[in-house]
């Protein structure tokens, strides 16, 4: 590939094409069970696509430090299985009907089968990771899983409540950014990174993950259902206060706060319309505030890469925050 700056998703994924194909093949093998229902659910989720951002970050972290090999493929599949397991459980907890423009698995197979399939995927991810015979890898994956479960429980506890910004950031780190950060750390461990290199890449992953979730939350409020592939404003309907909403609660009028709280209490737009909430967010500049926060973390991610030597893989990492912030779904 040319050493010119990488500017498009196609160029980034071309850079990783062979590895990503190998990860898809690994996922197909790893997600096969003697129990047909598990295989069917796992295959349905895999066919649903997804951006494969987490495995891509793991691969880039390894390659930027001059490592390539089967371990990166194996662990790339592991982080994607962990991510897939969380999606299965999230859809059940949220009562979601749609996922990426298709019916969510629980609408087809039911909650009971899906929660067990999610559990199986978690355990299978650890089983595959065991092949590395690396205690640091296992320790990171255990810590990751605990943080993600804690994040989900904290979110349930806070449903319907007007959380603080600090609580919001703690929540999205646990639910999203910790997996981005761990993916970067796993890739760096495979490459034999120094402690400083590992921490820089972990910082990068955390910042990209925070930016990703902030944008995800903004899109839930501003995108159309056709683009998003699921009902819009799902977070508010579930009683979740995301960053733009938190900003309007903190900086809006008393009436704004009462109006938003009514939606959080009702977990519906029965008494307050979605358009009314959008008007409040627009008037208070709350969407712009949230996007500025995403831009801040995107820049923080790029700064974490400064000490790394120049390469196509570094330029791919430099581009990734722009992709995360500029996406429309």
pLDDT of residue 243: 98
Answer whether residue 326 is part of any domain: no
0.75 exceeded by pTM: yes
Answer whether residue 241 is part of any domain: yes
Answer whether residue 187 is part of any domain: yes
Answer whether residue 321 is part of any domain: no
Answer whether residue 4 is part of any domain: no
pLDDT of residue 4: 39
Rounded Cα distance, 6 and 240, in Å: 37
pLDDT band (50, 70, 90) for residue 7 = low
pLDDT beyond 90 at 9: no
pLDDT of residue 58: 98
Closest by alpha carbon to 19, among 64, 65, 77?
77
Q: In the chain, what is the straight-line distance between the N-terminal and C-terminal CA atoms, in Å?
A: 28
pLDDT band (50, 70, 90) for residue 328 = confident
Answer whether residue 49 is part of any domain: yes
Find out whether 16 and 60 touch, Cβ atoms under 8 Å: yes
Over the stretch 19-41, which tens digit does the pLDDT of each residue have?
A: 999 999 999 999 899 999 999 99
Closest by alpha carbon to 285, among 241, 237, 247, 254?
247
Domain that holds residue 91: 9-313
pLDDT band (50, 70, 90) for residue 98 = confident
Find all residues with CB under 8 Å of 50, minimum gap 6, and list them.
100
3-state SS of the chain? CCCCCCCCHHHHHHHCHHHHHHHHHHHHHHCCCCCHHHHHHHHHHHHCCCCCHHHHHHHHHHHHCCCCCHHHHHHHHHHHHHHHHHHHHHHHHHCCCEECCEECHHHHHCHHHHHHHHHHHHHHHHHHHHCCCCHHHHHHHHHHHHHHHHHHHHHHHCCCCCCCHHHHHHHHHHHHHHHHHHHHHHHHHHCCCCHHHHHHHHHHHHHHHHHHHHHHHHHHHHCCHHHHCCCCCHHHHCCCCCHHHHHHHHHCCHHHHHHHHHHHHHCCCCCCCHHHHHHHHHHCCHHHHHHHHHHHHHHHHHHHCCCCCCCHHHHHHHHHHHHHHHCCC
Overall number of domains in the chain: 1
Q: How far is CA 154 from CA 50, 100, 171, in A?
A: 26, 25, 7
Q: How far is CA 255 from CA 248, 251, 261, 283, in A?
A: 11, 11, 10, 13
- Please state, as a whole number, how many other Cβ atoms lie within 10 Å of the Cβ of residue 254: 7
CATH number of the domain encompassing residue 28: 1.10.600.10
Answer whether residue 228 is part of any domain: yes
Over the stretch 220-264, which tens digit does the pLDDT of each residue have?
A: 999 887 777 777 889 999 999 999 999 999 999 999 999 999 999
Q: How far is CA 6 from CA 11, 280, 313, in A?
A: 6, 39, 9
pLDDT band (50, 70, 90) for residue 211 = very high
Answer whether residue 21 is part of any domain: yes
């Amino acid at each position: 590939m040319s050493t010119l700056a990488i500017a498009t998703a196609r160029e980034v994924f071309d850079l990783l094409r062979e590895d990503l194909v190998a990860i898809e093949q690994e996922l197909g093998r790893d997600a096969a069970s003697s129990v047909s229902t598990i295989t069917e659910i796992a295959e349905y989720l895999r066919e649903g696509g997804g951006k494969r951002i987490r495995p891509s970050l793991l691969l880039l972290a390894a390659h930027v430090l001059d490592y390539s090999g089967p371990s990166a493929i194996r662990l790339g599949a592991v982080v994607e299985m962990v991510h897939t397991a969380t999606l299965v459980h999230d859809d059940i907890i949220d009562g979601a009907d749609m996922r990426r423009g298709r019916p969510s698995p629980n609408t087809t197979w039911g909650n009971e089968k899906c929660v067990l399939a999610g559990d199986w995927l978690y355990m299978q991810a650890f089983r595959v990771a065991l092949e590395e015979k690396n205690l640091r890898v296992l320790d990171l994956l255990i810590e990751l899983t605990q943080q993600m479960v804690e994040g989900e429980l904290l979110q349930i506890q806070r449903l319907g409540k007007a959380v603080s910004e600090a609580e919001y950031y703690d929540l999205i780190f646990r639910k999203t950014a910790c997996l981005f950060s761990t993916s970067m750390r796993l890739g760096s461990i495979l490459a034999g990174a120094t402690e400083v290199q590992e921490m820089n890449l972990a910082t990068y992953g955390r910042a990209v993950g925070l930016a990703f979730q902030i944008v995800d939350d903004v899109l839930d409020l501003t995108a159309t259902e056709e683009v998003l592939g699921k009902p819009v404003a799902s977070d508010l309907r579930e009683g979740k206060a995301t960053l733009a909403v938190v900003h309007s609660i903190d900086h809006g009028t008393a009436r704004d706060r009462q109006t938003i709280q009514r939606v959080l209490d009702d977990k519906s737009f029965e008494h307050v319309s979605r358009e009314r909430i959008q008007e409040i967010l627009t008037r208070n500049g709350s969407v712009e505030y949230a996007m500025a926060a995403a831009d801040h973390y995107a820049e923080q991610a790029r700064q974490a890469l400064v000490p790394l030597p120049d390469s196509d893989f570094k330029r791919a990492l430099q581009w990734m925050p722009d992709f995360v912030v500029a996406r429309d779904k």
